[in-house]
Chain A
Amino acid sequence: MQSKSAKVSIAIVSLILGIMLAVQFKTTASNNSAQLPTRVEDVAQELNSVTQERDALAEEVISLREKLGNVRKNDEAMADLQDELQKTSMAAGTMAVEGPGIILTVNDIPRKIQAGEDPNDSIVHDSDLFTLVNDLKASGAEAISINDQRITAMSEIRCASTLILINTRRVGPPFVIKATGNPDMLESGVNISGGWLSFMKQWGYQINLQKSEKVLIPAYKGPIRFEYSVPVEKGEKAE
């Protein structure tokens, strides 16, 4: 009844099925071992660990900079250079500074949002912050930080949904803007009528401006990398 060809075909088909199964097993097993984070919790956990890693690396950057500073300190001949370096570091924001200045605290409008009102109208935006920072710079601020993020030449102040990114760190309200400089100049600089702060006061933002004899502004904690720019040699003309 059963021909030989039936057995042969079943045998071949089973063989192929076995090979397919084995390949599939291997593929799924390797996928599992690759541990692709598919669930939100996994991704969140990974984000946490990466954030911790980043903070650890930032600390390392600071300690290495200290070591570098120590090495340079030992060299007497480099005293002048040291001076120059210090000034440049202060300007670049890689060194914490302190001195007289102001502490400006800005927070969202506290009243409840009415029906039909745009909630965007009552929160502090990135544009508010950088306008204020610009006013401070214009009134002679020497160093500025927002919520302990040093504003450097390359710092961004950028909206990131409900928070604001500064130096790629997330920063939320209340925003404490610290600036060193002549306190009176700084105060009048941001308080000038028609200036942005006066508008913000009118709109109902919580604003607190304090002059202080000693404002501490932390150093920029991230790495500084130049991937595209190279210094121009003295002989060359910058175009």
Chain B
Amino acid sequence: MTSSHRGTRDRRKGSRSSGAPPWLVALAAVCAAAAAIPLVYLIVRALDAGIAGSVVATLWRPRVLELALNSITLAVAVTGTCLVAGTASAWVLTRVRIPAPGIWILIAALPLAVPSYLAAYGWLVWVPSMNGFWASWLLLSAVCVPYVTLPVAAALRGASGNLHDVARTLGRGPFGAFVSATWPQIRPAAIAGALLVCLYALSDFGLVSLMRYPTLTWGINAAYGASFNRNQAALLALVLVALALAVVTGERSIRGGQDQVAVRGAPPVIPSGRWKLPVAVVLMAAPVLGVLVPVLGLLSRLLEAETLRSIDVPRLLGAVGATLGLAVAGALLATLLALPIAALAARHKSRLVSVIEATGFLGHGLPGIVVGLSLVFFALAVVPALYQSVIVLVFGYAVLFMPKAIGTMRSGIAGVPGSLVEVSRMLGLSPLATWWRVTARLALPSIGVGALLVAISVMKELPATLLLRPTGISTLATELWSRTTVFEFGAAAPYAAALVLVAAVPAVVLSGFRGVSKEDL
């Protein structure tokens, strides 16, 4: 058998065929282009406003530099902390015999369900004087650790324990064996997790603002609020985008690949007495700091008689309604935009398809505040009628959270065997009828899960909502925010509790589903 024959056979066996229908490519390209609007428009705007000439000069203004440095310092510190703490807790979760390991995995994922500003609120209730770098670092780390813990735990479960044993017999100590044998196997997962942490830390707005630590996101909001200097906001946004893109590209180049070896799971270590405390600390630090303390703080305020008496029920219900309505609208639009891209990427492979898919994923690297700001400029300049309308807000959500929908739906659609599609065609069904009766039908659960992930993210989103919401519309997140910034912790409590109920609880439930990547929550 010649190699060319083998090649063609492989192509046939795969469910991907080379020729994508032009209408699907066109449709997917249009959807992806929508996702590119904020970034493209931000750049256009920055160049247009004549900033280009003064960019360098402005960049070296002490204030800009300080904000950028603050952002970088925080992102680096949080990423490093999460890398170490997440790897340690992943190792404990997979390699140490602990009671009820399944429950511990779920607990380890919990901090992801809590929006960062909610964690900050919960802590401020206890310690109103908390502020600055260290507070931001501690809370942000606690909230972000699962981004590393979860993928590394998955990688460790798939990593061979043999290599560790071999390294030990060759004279390495326990730590040396971990570094030389186990770490290379989990490195890609750890670095991918670290990327998510780094992006999260760079784009976080709520937590750092509540902790009064001035980063770029804070600066963007401040400059935008002082509406006479929107060019400054655009410039800061550009700096932030550049940092985020640098992180994404950097991660691509250092992640590397590792050939999988035949796997034999490592037998779990039984912790001896003096190790029990450290093990418990590693497992519980993030959930306690990121979830337990804030939720208790929230409850303590909520259950105070004065709070309960002064709950403005209609206003609360209004915020719940607005939050749910926006979530549904955002999820629908994101799903609609993501569907052609996911369908294309699941079945076809070419350079053009990769470009379209990557464009659809842009929102993944763009901070919410940047998307918000850019869409404000876009609406004002291109479609002034829509400025401060629900349509632009929902569109912003769709751009930001489309990647979650694309990822989930793509794997769902790719999971429908190509042979079923062929059989359906051979039985006389047109491509569209086949898509409807076979592919979509079988991929329906993953399409639903993708939409739910988007809905949950929309409910938690703060900065884009703050920038884009029409006057008079308040979501749970903005209500919580506006009350917390003025230290009305009691008045904020009902909104925080409602947010936990509508967003965090579904997130936890959803994370128990098979095929749901917890990092998407």
Task: Answer whether A and B are interacting partners.
Answer: no
Residues of B that sit less than 8 Å from A by CB: none
Residues of A that sit less than 8 Å from B by CB: none
